[in-house]
Structure 1
Amino acid sequence: MSDFDFSQPQRQSKTGLVLIFAATVYNFFRAGWVVILAILAGRNSPKLTSLLILGGILLLLLGLGYSIIYYLRFRFHIDEKNREFVVEKGVLSSDVVVIPFNKIQQVKFKRNILQRILNVSSVVVETAGSQGKEVEIKALSQEAADVLADRLMSLSQKVKRTEEDGIETEEAGESFLGTPEWQHKVSLFTLVKLGLTSNYLRGVALIIAFYFTLRQEFRLEDTLPAGVPKEQLLGTGSLIFILFLLFIGMVITVGETVIKYYDLNLKKFSDSLQVEMGLRNNVKVNIKANRIQVMEVVTNPLQKKLDLYKLKLSLASSENELGKSHIRIPGIPPDIVAEIKKYFFKTQVTEKLYFLPNQLYLARRISRGMIPAVVGIGLVFFFREYVSLAYAGILLSVYLVLMTVYNYFYYKSLRLSVSDDFLVKHSGLWIKKEQYLEIYRLQSVSVRQPLWYKNRGVVNLTFHSAGGDLNFYVVKTEEVRPLLNFVLYKIESTTDPWM
C-alpha cells in the first residue's frame, strides 16, 4: 500500500519552487536579453550601473515572490466520488482544470537536466479533448509520480470498462503496471551505429553545400599565397575540407541520436508498453494498445544488415492534433518488433491481396521531377554569358537519368496489401517503410478523382484513422471497388472500440 494519499489536495515537491523560480528567471532573461547585452556593451556611469544592479535585484525578488505564490496555489487531487482529476493553479486569478477519468488517454513523465539534478519528474496527463495535453505537474518525486500515474491509469481503465460493460467493476488496484513481462534496452553502441547509418546522404549534401557557400563568401581563390598553384592547392584543400566537414557532420548526427534516444528502455507490462528515453529531456510514457492507430516500421539496407529497425507509432488524438501524436522507437531488433506487433495487434499480421499503382503514377512523378530541370534550363539561358553550356548540359543529363531511375524503382516498391484484418502499405527505395493499419480502426475512406484521372479510370485513396491517414495513389477504379465495399462493410459492422 502506498503512503501517498492523492484524495486530499496537495502541492508539488518542495524542490518544485526551485524549478518555478528558475523558469521565471529564464523568462525574464529571454524577454530582455537584447537590452541586457546593450547595457553591458555600453559605457555606463557608476550611478547608472548601481541603478541597473538594483533593478536586477528587484526583478529577482519579484520573480521569487511570484514563484512562491504560484507554488503555494498549485494543488491537485483525485476525486474518486466524481471520477475526476482536479488541478488548481493561478497567481492573480484562479484556474481550475477538471479532467474526467474516462477522458484520460495516458500519463507520461518528462525530466530535463535541472529536474534530474533535483531528482523530480514532470507528470503530464493527456486527454481525448481538443487541447491534447491538459495539465502538467512539474515537480514530483519519482516515487510519487509513479504512484500518481498508476492510480490515474487504473481509475481511467476502471471507468471505461464500466461504461462499456454497463457493470460497476471492483475497486481499482493500487498498481496499474505490475511486473514487466519482458524488457529491452538499447545500448549506447547501438545508438552510435544508428546515428552512423541514419540520414547519411542528407548530411553529406548539407555539408557540401555549406562548404561551397563558405568558399564563395570568403573568396578562397583570391586569398591564396602568391606563387602557389591554385588548382593544386584548391583541389587538395577542397578534398581535405570536405572530408573534415563530413566527419564533423557524422559526429553531430551521432550526437543528436545519442542525446535524443539515450538509455532507450522498453518494458512490456500486462496492459501497456512503457518507453523511456532521452538524455537532455528524459521522457517516459506508457502506451496502451488501444491508442495505436498506425504502426510504421522503417529501415534501410545498412541498418537491416545490423538488425536495426525503427518503429513510428501514431496514437489516437483529437481532430486538432490529427497526425501529430507520434512516438518513435529506433534501434530495435526484428524479434522485439515482432513482440511489439504481437502486443498491439489483436490478430497476426497477414497479407493476401495486393494492389499496385497505375503507370500513370510513375509518369506523374517523373513529370514533377522535370520541373527543376526546366527551371535550370531557363536560368542557364538567362545567364549563358556566365555559365558553361557544356557543363550545364552534363549536370542536367545526370540529374534527369538519376531522377528517372530513382522514381522508377520507387514506383516498383509501392504496393498495398489487404487481408481480413489489415491494410499494409510498402514503400521506399533506400529507406524501406511498412505501414500497418487494422481495418477495424478505420473511420472513413476518401476517394478522389481529378478531371485528368477520369478518362483513365484511376483514383487516389486515403484511409482515415484517429492517428493520421494512409494514402495510396493512382489505382484502377474497377480494381479497388471491391476493396472499398469490403472496407466500408468492416467499418459499419465492427463493434470493437478503435481507441
Structure 2
Amino acid sequence: MNNTFDFSEFSRQSSKGIIVNYFIILYKSLKSSWVLIPILLTKDKTELNLTKILLAVFAILIYILIRAILIYLNFKFKIKDNAFILKQGILNKSNISVPFEKIQHINFKQNFIQQLIKVTQVEIETAGAKTVEISIKALSRESAVALKKALFAKKQETVIVENSEPKKELLHKITFSDLLKVSISENHFKSLMLLFAFIFSGYVQVKDFLETLELDDKFDTLLEENANSLIGDLLLMIFLFVFSFIISVLISFVTTFVRHFNLQVSLENNTLEIDQGLITKQNNIIKKQKVQSIEVLTNPIKEKLGIYNVIFRQAISGKINYKKLIKVVGFNKEHINVLKDVFFINTNFTNKEKHKPDTYYKVQLFFRSFLFLAFLNGVIILISTKLFFINVILAPLLIVLVLLKYEKSYYFFNKDMLVIGAGQIATKTTYLEHFKLQHIKLKQTFFQKKKDVVNMVIQTASGKIILPCVKTKKAIEMYNFMLYKSETSTKKWM
C-alpha cells in the first residue's frame, strides 16, 4: 500500500500539534519560574491564599491552551518553485522561503510527548544558520518521510511513499552492556563541574529554604569543627570529592543512557543514518559531502574496553553549539575502519609518518602550567596557608599532564588529507580532507620567531583547527599545498 502526499498547497501539521505546543509552552513557563517554588515553601501559610493561587494557575493553563491553538492554526507550509515556504506567527507573522540548495540537514526528533501521541518533529537546517531555521513539531511519520524525500529530491511537490523500508546495512547497534561501558569510561570531571555549577547557582535561590530546616547551621558547625586541624581539612575534602565523584558517575550514566539509548547506525549508499535517544528520539542523516571533519575520541579506559566515540563536524555559522554536534558512542576499531572507507575513499592510512610539534611547544606548556600554579597559590594565600599542601599533588600532576599533551600531539600529512592527534588523558584524532579547507593562517609570536616555528590555524566550515609549533619551512610547504588542493578541487565541500 502506498501513501500519496501533496505539498504543492498550504497544509497544517497534525492536529496533535496543539498538544505538543501546549506542553512546550508549559515546560518553558515552569523552567523560567521554578525559583518561585522555594519562595512559596518558605512563606508563612497565613499569607497564602490557596483560592487565588489555584485561580491564577487555572488562568495560566487556559492562556497556554489558547496560545497553543493559535500557533497551530497559523503554522502552514508548502513546496513551490524548488523552495520550502512557511507561514507562521500569531501577531508577528512571518513568511519564510528556503531554496532547496540552501537546505543542509533534515532531522527527525521525538520527545516523550511526541512518542506518546505518535507524531514526529522535522527540523530543517540551512547552510550558515546558527540555529534550526524551521521546526515542524507534529507530522505523522509517513508525512515526515515524504517531506524529507520531496526536499531532497529538489523537484517533486507530490511524493508517493511506499510502506516498505529500503534495505540498509546495520553498521552498529548499541547494547545495554555497551552503554554501561561508555558511561563508566566517560569524562566524569565534566559531570563534576556541572554538578558544582548547579549547586552554586541553585544555592542562592534555596538559601532561605535551607535556613528554615537549619541545614546551613549544621553545615557551618561541621566546617568549624574540622577547620582547626589539617587532618580535618583533608578528610573533609576527601569526603566531598568522593561523594561528588559518585554523584558525577551516576549523572554520566543517566545522561549517556538517555541520550544514546537504542543507538543504531545504518549505512545506505555511503550515507549514515543515526537513530538514538530515550526521552527524545533523534534521527540524523549524515552525507559524505556535508561532513567537514571527523573526530575519533578515546581514553585509557575506553581503549581497554575496545570502544571509541566519534563526532561528525558539519558546516556551522558563528559559535559552535556543542549540543548540536552529532556524536556516536561505542564504536570499535572495525567500525572506525568502515567509516574511513566511506568518508575517505582511496586514502592510504598505512605506513603513515607522524610529525611531532617542535620541542618549544613543550616549553610553552610548562610555562603556562607555571603561571596557573602561581595564580592558584596566590588565591590560596588569600584563603588559608594550610592549603599549600595541595602543591605536593598538583605540581607533579601538571608535569605529567604537560608531558602527556606533548606526547599525544602529532600530525600526519599526505596528498589527500591531514590527520591531527591531540589530548592528555583522553586522545582525540581529527581527520580533515584538504579540499574542505576554507582558509589557513600562519601565526607567530616574538618568541616563536626566535625558535623558527609557527602555529598553523586551519579554518573549515565546521570550526578552527590549530597545529602548534610547526617548523616554518614545513608549515609553508603545507600551507601552499593545502591551498592548492582547496582551490583546484572540483569536489563538493558541503
Q: TM-score range by the shorter chain?
A: 0.7 to 0.9
Offset of residue 430 of structure 1: 2.4
Match of 2:468 in 1: 473
Cα distance in structure 2, aligned partners of 1:38 and 1:240:
31
2:185 to 178, 190, 197: 197
Is the contact made by 1:325 and 1:467 (CA closer than 8 Å) also made in structure 2? no
Cα separation, partners in 2 of 1:31 and 1:327, compared to 1, 3 Å: closer
Match of 1:165 in 2: none
Offset of residue 154 of structure 1: 2.6
Cα separation, partners in 2 of 1:381 and 1:14, compared to 1, 3 Å: closer
**Which residues in structure 2 correspond to 1:383-394 (within 5 Å)?**
387=385, 392=388
**Which residues in structure 2 correspond to 1:403-414 (within 5 Å)?**
403-414=398-409
Offset of residue 378 of structure 1: 4.3
Match of 1:446 in 2: 441
Offset of residue 197 of structure 1: 1.3
The alignment partner of 1:192 has SS state of helix
1:188 counterpart letter in structure 2: F
Cα separation, partners in 2 of 1:216 and 1:418, compared to 1, 3 Å: farther
Match of 1:227 in 2: none
Provide Cα deviations, 1:63-94, integer angstroms capped at 9, x if missing partner.
32222222122111222xx1011111121243
1:189 counterpart letter in structure 2: S
Return the TM-score normalized by structure 2: 0.84
Cα distance in structure 2, aligned partners of 1:311 and 1:215:
47
Cα distance in structure 1, aligned partners of 2:63 and 2:239:
55
Cα distance in structure 1, aligned partners of 2:32 and 2:376:
44
Is the contact made by 1:315 and 1:325 (CA closer than 8 Å) also made in structure 2? no
Cα distance in structure 2, aligned partners of 1:206 and 1:92:
39
1:180 to 168, 171, 190: 168
The alignment partner of 1:124 has SS state of strand
Structure 1 segments unaligned to the other structure (5+ residues): 160-170, 225-229
Cα distance in structure 1, aligned partners of 2:365 and 2:89:
54
Cα separation, partners in 2 of 1:459 and 1:2, compared to 1, 3 Å: same
Cα separation, partners in 2 of 1:208 and 1:70, compared to 1, 3 Å: closer
Match of 2:366 in 1: 366
1:78 counterpart letter in structure 2: I
Match of 2:273 in 1: 274
Cα distance in structure 1, aligned partners of 2:131 and 2:107:
13
The alignment partner of 1:443 has SS state of strand
2:11 counterpart letter in structure 1: Q
Cα distance in structure 2, aligned partners of 1:443 and 1:45:
63
Provide Cα deviations, 1:107-166, integer angstroms capped at 9, x if missing partner.
00111111111111210011114344210000112222222222222328x99xxxxxxx
Cα distance in structure 2, aligned partners of 1:208 and 1:17:
38
Cα separation, partners in 2 of 1:450 and 1:124, compared to 1, 3 Å: same
Which piece of structure 1 moves more, 370-379 or 65-74?
370-379
Match of 2:213 in 1: none
* 1:64 maps to 2:62: no
* 1:5 maps to 2:6: yes
Offset of residue 279 of structure 1: 1.5
Which piece of structure 1 moves more, 199-208 or 23-32?
199-208
Offset of residue 341 of structure 1: 1.9
Which piece of structure 1 moves more, 117-126 or 351-360?
351-360
2:175 counterpart letter in structure 1: S
Match of 1:302 in 2: 301
The alignment partner of 2:13 has SS state of coil
1:359 counterpart letter in structure 2: T
Cα distance in structure 1, aligned partners of 2:192 and 2:445:
38
Which piece of structure 1 moves more, 263-272 or 186-195?
263-272
Match of 1:95 in 2: 94
Offset of residue 345 of structure 1: 2.0
Match of 1:497 in 2: 492
The alignment partner of 2:448 has SS state of helix
1:220 counterpart letter in structure 2: L
Offset of residue 322 of structure 1: 8.7
Cα distance in structure 2, aligned partners of 1:89 and 1:261:
33
2:222 to 220, 223, 242: 220
Cα distance in structure 2, aligned partners of 1:498 and 1:284:
23
Provide Cα deviations, 1:319-339, integer angstroms capped at 9, x if missing partner.
565988521111111111211
Match of 1:164 in 2: none
Is the contact made by 2:12 and 2:73 (CA closer than 8 Å) also made in structure 1? yes
Cα separation, partners in 2 of 1:424 and 1:104, compared to 1, 3 Å: same
Cα distance in structure 2, aligned partners of 1:194 and 1:36:
36
Cα separation, partners in 2 of 1:467 and 1:35, compared to 1, 3 Å: closer
Is the contact made by 2:184 and 2:253 (CA closer than 8 Å) also made in structure 1? yes
1:421 counterpart letter in structure 2: D
The alignment partner of 1:284 has SS state of strand
Match of 2:210 in 1: none
**Which residues in structure 2 correspond to 1:333-372 (within 5 Å)?**
333-350=332-349, 352-372=352-372
Offset of residue 461 of structure 1: 0.3
Offset of residue 400 of structure 1: 2.6
Offset of residue 104 of structure 1: 0.8
Which piece of structure 1 moves more, 268-277 or 458-467?
268-277
2:69 counterpart letter in structure 1: I
**Which residues in structure 2 correspond to 1:27-426 (within 5 Å)?**
27-30=28-31, 41=43, 43=45, 50-79=51-80, 82-155=81-154, 178-200=166-188, 217-220=219-222, 246-319=245-318, 326-350=325-349, 352-378=352-378, 387=385, 392=388, 395-426=390-421
2:222 counterpart letter in structure 1: L
Match of 2:204 in 1: none
Offset of residue 472 of structure 1: 0.6
Cα distance in structure 2, aligned partners of 1:201 and 1:378:
24
Identity fraction in percent: 26
Cα distance in structure 2, aligned partners of 1:51 and 1:288:
56
The alignment partner of 1:426 has SS state of strand
2:71 counterpart letter in structure 1: Y
Cα distance in structure 1, aligned partners of 2:130 and 2:231:
61
The alignment partner of 1:495 has SS state of coil
2:345 counterpart letter in structure 1: K
The alignment partner of 1:4 has SS state of strand
1:181 counterpart letter in structure 2: E
Cα distance in structure 2, aligned partners of 1:27 and 1:209:
21
Is the contact made by 1:322 and 1:468 (CA closer than 8 Å) also made in structure 2? no
Cα distance in structure 2, aligned partners of 1:39 and 1:397:
48
2:255 counterpart letter in structure 1: E
Cα distance in structure 1, aligned partners of 2:111 and 2:119:
9
Offset of residue 33 of structure 1: 5.5
The alignment partner of 2:399 has SS state of helix
Q: How many residue pairs are counted as aligned between the two chains? A: 473
2:306 counterpart letter in structure 1: D
Cα distance in structure 2, aligned partners of 1:264 and 1:403:
37
1:311 counterpart letter in structure 2: V
Cα distance in structure 2, aligned partners of 1:5 and 1:111:
24
